[in-house]
Structure 1
Amino acid sequence: MTRYQAPTRRRLYLMRHGSVDYFRADGSPVPPDTVPLNAEGEQQADAAGALFADSGVRFDRVLVSGLPRTVQTAQRVLAAAGQQLVLDTEPELQEIRGGRLADIAPEQVAQAFLGAFGGAGAGAEHERFLGGESVAELLDRALPAFERWRARADWQCALVVLHGGVNRALLSNLLAGGRAFFGALEQQPACINVIDLGDDHAVVRAINLAPTQWLQAREQRTTMEKLLALYQRGIAPL
């Protein structure tokens, strides 16, 4: 009888960035490529870092998309965890890119906000986010970029801080064992997903752990539902 040999896997902590304000106090939009963490987002990132410290987690590498909200989240997580590491940056892992709401017909606005994250199935890849990039286009750039970084041999425990849409793409791929997109995988600000990566397959141990509200008792709407509600109250387009 051949003796079973347990596979060797590496630990990945995949986070979404902390909370941000996509609109200023006067209602004008903040460009998504420049929006910083707000005070709540800073607290969320600090709480995640404290959790890693309390759990004795030590990172070998840290990867961000390069957008300020991922960089700031990673920096605060590392500071709260008592660790100093240079951040790796991969622009191909930036968030799914939206278009201009002003170019979308009023009757199509709700679909533009919610369609890309509405579920799964054959039609999911054809959905466009806010009239911009499609889910298929997101997968085409994000999945190869992640696989290239995953193949690096210089880490055993990594922190990766990305975005709600990109995290869905990566988690869907790992759960399905191939190209997929499960839009209903909600990602709270500064949430933590726990994944073990091996040559055989991935083990997804936890999804959407939010250190500042573990049970998400106050949550009933998704991130995009909240943004749609703000837009429909008359706030300027993204």
Structure 2
Amino acid sequence: MRRRLYLMRHGEVAYFDADGRPVPPDAVSLTADGVRQAEAAGELLAGVALDRVIASGLPRTMETAQLVAPRSEIEVWPELQEIKGARLSSIPPDELEETFVHAFRGVVPLEKRFLGGETIGALLDRVVPALGRLVADEAWDTALVVAHGAVNRAILSWALTGQRIFLGHFEQAPGCVNVLDIGDEWIVRAVNVAPLDPVHASTRLTTMESYWAQYRGP
């Protein structure tokens, strides 16, 4: 029998204030829309018996996990924290838009740095072993992992290829749910299911394009 992994991205947060100034990414909380997205995911998974609930430990994943699975104990796995960028001020102004908008385009090279910070290879170096540790524990049947956009891309890429490849075009909407089964091989059943917007009618922007628009301002 296959085991089931529900892989979520946290609900919406605001990484920039009203003036376009960055706020510390490790401290941001869910916005009102983010809370609604998490609550909708909770309704979607309400009939699912979860043996384990895992979050990265950053406030946005903890808040999301608590709303989705309020009666579950949440395990904190720091290895699943989001890829780390550098200070935006360290990126030359004429390269900033390209760095933002093209951060997750195509098959992303392992040596590429996210916003001048952590490399894709370094992200895989911590996410893939954590995923292996979860899979190796056969004591659970159904698990929920609440993580981040880049982390989820890394997990989905590994599930599809079994290789250290990062497929950047796996868009991950705020509060989305991915459904994966684990047996002799990985089965990817659903990707980027947004409970409040299942056909993604609200936007055609990528996540990074949306962040660039917030940073640039009106």
Partner SS, residue 116 of structure 1: coil
Q: State the distance in 2 between where 1:116 and 1:147 align.
A: 26
Deviations 1:121-165 (A, max 9, x none): xx5222211110111111111111121122112210000000000
Tell me what 1:89 maps to: 76
Tell me what 2:40 maps to: 47
Tell me what 1:36 maps to: 29
Q: Which moved more, 1:22-31 or 1:172-181?
A: 22-31
Tell me what 2:9 maps to: 16
RMSD of Structure 2 on Structure 1 (CA): 1.4
- Is the Cα contact below 8 Å between 1:95 and 1:163 reproduced in 2? yes
Q: State the distance in 2 between where 1:27 and 1:131 align.
A: 19
> Per-residue deviation at 1:26?
4.6
Tell me what 2:65 maps to: 74
> Per-residue deviation at 1:73?
0.2
> Per-residue deviation at 1:112?
2.0
What TM-score comes out, normalization by structure 2 length? Answer: 0.95
Q: Once the two structures are aligned, what percentage of the paired residues are identical? A: 53
Segments of 4+ moved more than 4 angstroms: none
Partner SS, residue 124 of structure 1: coil
Deviations 1:159-193 (A, max 9, x none): 00000000000000101122211001000001000
Q: Which consecutive unaligned segments of at least 5 residues does structure 2 have?
A: none
Q: Which consecutive unaligned segments of at least 5 residues does structure 1 have?
A: 1-7
- Is the Cα contact below 8 Å between 1:125 and 1:136 reproduced in 2? yes
Deviations 1:43-86 (A, max 9, x none): 00001111111xx211000010000000000000113xxxx111
Tell me what 1:57 maps to: 48
Q: State the distance in 1 between where 2:7 and 2:134 align.
A: 13
